[in-house]
Structure 1
């Protein structure tokens, strides 16, 4: 819902994300490294979206929201937070290691999604990525979806019960703010700068 998917896309993404999570747990018990777990999960998410479009369950424009929703569970949010905490605390080596882990995780996601797109090409499917709606209802829906996503992420990361409401409110506010900025409610400063400002610049040489 946050990226513009309809009810069918939401249902397919939910089922796909649950399947990815369960499959990851099964493979983890067998000692499969995390990189390959992420790759397989992203591949499953993208292939499910492609097959759903192929059988007519989804519109081609809903494939991208389904993939995005299904791979949320694979995003290294905890690793990013830990890397930032270590960097702030002065543990530079540990922070660098965590950042490298995040990069490998991102590479695995890109590779898995690329595999799904390769399957789509083999099936002669052209998947489109449509922009989300801009009506007031769309903005409100995305804000509420962001709050639910933030709340679910907090629960998945074993957050405290007292933190759930502030996390949900923060998710709604962040979505609202980003939507306003993306739709240029507050115009960005002109670039390049006006001639009056450029004339004051002093460049070496």
Structure 2
């Protein structure tokens, strides 16, 4: 490719695609590989791509022209699986020569400037349904599920309102954690026949669902340490906001003489396991809907989440502990995500993250915070918080291991590439140069 304007257009297209993928939740390894695939297919050999948490750059120099360097900043980061799926499909169309360079640039510009067809109030309702599913998964009665629904919907509207003032995520998480605990304290004070701790736990999982634990660990395991450090720092601050908000709410309840109590779950029969699986399926499907996933993926996501929570429940009951149980379920998710995503035509990332949400360690965090707030069981509280951290790591590492196993199996079945380049959650597995 000798035409300098066309080179600039290819570099700009690759950067815009990478920006949309990174801002929608993709990992740095996937973004880098996708940008390389698009540039290589368009005729650029050996471009230099650098991706960090807030910016990305791409440079190219031919034998005759001066070096060309372009940089784009990632100003907004939100889980948006509609844009992610559309950009992923655009990349596949580019590599299959179904769209030209000019058409691809037009499509990217339209995607980046257009909103969503899904009404925002439907997203709020889906987040409420997600919290209700978590409450059902924890064994809550209809009253608990209803209060969890109302609390989650209120948290979403409050955070959306606070976001208009451009407040950092930390303060939004503090407000969300405090509001969730306030609903639980009010329910306990009103002497309603509910377990308030289940309301708190359900909404902690709601607040945790948008935190990029897995993305940070994936970046670390694939060699993007700067991006991994930034993602994990953001996740740590967001989690600290939840801790501050929930701790404040629990302390306020103690001052007012209202205790939300401790929660000890357990599933001892098939009926309970079935209900737990149903709650997990509702939670995962609702999260996917709230993240603007295509409607065709909701049922498959619910089924995978059901199987995953059943696997985790039985392994934990067998005496292997919560961490190994969650790791096994996460491995299952990573193993089947590629096959399921191919059937429903979405990136595997959509399946992976949505089905992991019911496994997030909301219960361990609640236990740790409630014990620490009492001041008499600090050791047990710290142990519960460490358990939550180990569960989060088990989730990420289990899923990534499943991807490492599933990718070569898929590669051999379809004969798409000659060697494993790392876990790919977005983008093509191989690029061909345009002829």
Same fold (TM over 0.5): yes
Q: Work out whether 1:152 is the aligned partner of 2:286.
A: yes
Matched residue, 2:236:
103
- 1:88, distance to aligned residue in structure 2 (A): 4.6
In structure 2, do the counterparts of structure 1 residues 157 and 78 end up closer, same or farther at CA, with 3 Å as the change threshold?
A: farther
Choose from 206, 227, 245 the match for 1:112. 245
SS in 1 for 2:212: helix
Q: Deviations over 1:96-150 (max 9, x none)?
A: 1001111111111111111111111112223322323423322111101101111
| Structure 2: distance between partners of 1:114 and 1:71 | 12
What residue number does 1:201 align with?
Answer: none
Kept in 2, the 8 Å contact 1:46–1:67? The answer is yes
Structure 2: stretches of 5+ with no match in the other structure: 1-135, 321-435
How do 1:2-13 and structure 2 match up within 5 A?
A: 2-13=137-148
C-alpha distance in 1, partners of 2:286/2:226?
31
In the alignment, the residues of structure 1 paired with residue 211 and residue 252 of structure 2 have an alpha-carbon distance, to the nearest angstrom, of 31
Structure 1 moving runs of 4+ over 6 Å? none
Quote the Cα distance in structure 2 between the aligned partners of 1:183 and 1:91.
37
Equivalenced residue count is 185
- How many Å apart are 1:36 and its aligned residue? 0.3
2:151 to 16, 19, 32: 16
Measure, in 2, the Cα distance between the counterparts of 1:87 and 1:157.
Answer: 25
SS at 2:179's partner residue? helix
Among 153, 161, 182, the residue aligned to 1:26? 161
SS in structure 1 of the partner of residue 137 of structure 2 = coil
User: Structure 1 regions of 5+ residues with no counterpart?
Assistant: 189-205
Per-residue deviation at 1:81? 3.6
Answer with 1 or 2: which has the greater Rg: 2
TM superposition score normalised by structure 1: 0.82
1:76–1:102 Cα contact (<8 Å) kept:
no
TM-score, length of structure 2 as denominator length = 0.40
Secondary structure in 1 matching 2:163: helix
- The Cα of 1:175 is off from its aligned counterpart by 0.8
What's 2:215 paired with?
Answer: 82
Q: How far has the Cα of 1:74 moved from its partner?
A: 1.4
Instruction: For 1:75 and 1:91, locate their aligned partners in 2 and report how far apart those are by CA, in whole Å.
Output: 23
